């Protein structure tokens, strides 16, 4: 297998690929697994309610390979803050690695 090509793209392109490929939906269906890499209280500028966690989360395939890195605000009630969806930062998709520019 060839080494993946790194492609640096704007946030809008990263979100488009993330949504079109259905990474979050695959995670909710149990076809991808989440691994929290880091979490901490969010910065005050996020305007998230008390008890919210700012998280960096990896999505792993069934073989344990990382396929995505996202940022999300996890609220106490289990919902996601911000846009209500994870915000992708890095995606492994169709043999390429898409990274936020």
- Residue carrying structure tokens 């969010």: 42
Q: What is the C-alpha separation between 67 and 59, in angstroms, rounded?
A: 6
14 pLDDT higher than 90:
yes
Query: C-alpha 98: how far from its chain's center?
Result: 12
pLDDT number for residue 2: 76
Cα–Cα distances (Å) from 52 to 38, 46, 61, 98, 100, in that order, read: 13, 10, 27, 28, 24
Q: What is the C-alpha separation between 92 and 95, in angstroms, rounded?
A: 7
**Average pLDDT in the chain:** 96
């Amino acid at each position: 297998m060839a080494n993946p090509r790194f492609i640096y793209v704007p946030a809008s392109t990263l979100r488009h690929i993330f949504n079109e490929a259905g990474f979050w939906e695959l995670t909710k269906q149990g076809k991808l697994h989440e691994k929290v890499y880091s979490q901490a209280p969010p910065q005050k500028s996020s305007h998230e309610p008390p008890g919210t966690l700012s998280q960096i989360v990896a999505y792993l395939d069934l073989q344990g390979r990382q396929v995505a890195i996202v940022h999300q605000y996890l609220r106490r009630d289990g919902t996601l803050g911000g846009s209500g969806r994870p915000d992708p930062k890095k995606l492994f998709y169709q043999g390429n690695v898409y990274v936020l520019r």
